[in-house]
Amino acid sequence: MHERRKKSRRRLAFPAVVIDSSSGEIMGHIGNITPEGVMLRSERPVEIDGIFSLQIPLPDEIEGCSKLEVQAHSLWTQAASDPNVHVTGFEFINISATESRIIELLIQDSIYQRWIS
């Protein structure tokens, strides 16, 4: 896979759940995040080239919001080393200035680890 990412991926310090806003179902957990997108770890594979409304409950209120709601495009998916886990890469789309700021604050304010590719 060709590496197109411009910024380092960050692993958040808290277990961030990702919910499909359309169904209300938990899709999985954030594996890592950048200002441009997120990697989801899930039990089921995610449809490729789909547009999803993702909801991420925040550990604390940020910019007056208790959850982050973003549109994301699923770019790729693959099985993880654990056969019960799939990982999917999403690119954020149509992100507002507030959503962008929340993502940046999550990355900056969390105790994070640099994800080594």
| CATH code of the domain covering residue 36 | 2.40.10.220
Q: Is residue 31 part of a domain?
A: yes
pTM of the model: 0.81
Domain span including residue 96: 10-111
Predicted confidence band of residue 5 (pLDDT cuts 50, 70, 90): very low
Q: Is residue 105 part of a domain?
A: yes
pLDDT in tens, 15-63: 689 999 999 999 999 988 889 999 999 999 999 999 999 999 987 888 8
Q: How many domains does the chain have?
A: 1
Q: Is residue 1 part of a domain?
A: no
Q: Is residue 20 part of a domain?
A: yes
Contacts of 100-108 with C-beta under 8 Å, sequence gap 24+, read: 100/35, 101/63, 102/58, 102/62, 102/63, 102/65, 102/68, 103/33, 103/35, 103/68, 104/35, 105/62, 105/63, 106/12, 106/33, 106/58, 106/62, 106/68, 107/10, 107/12, 107/33, 107/34, 107/35
Q: Is residue 116 part of a domain?
A: no
Q: Is residue 5 part of a domain?
A: no
Mean pLDDT of 67-95: 94
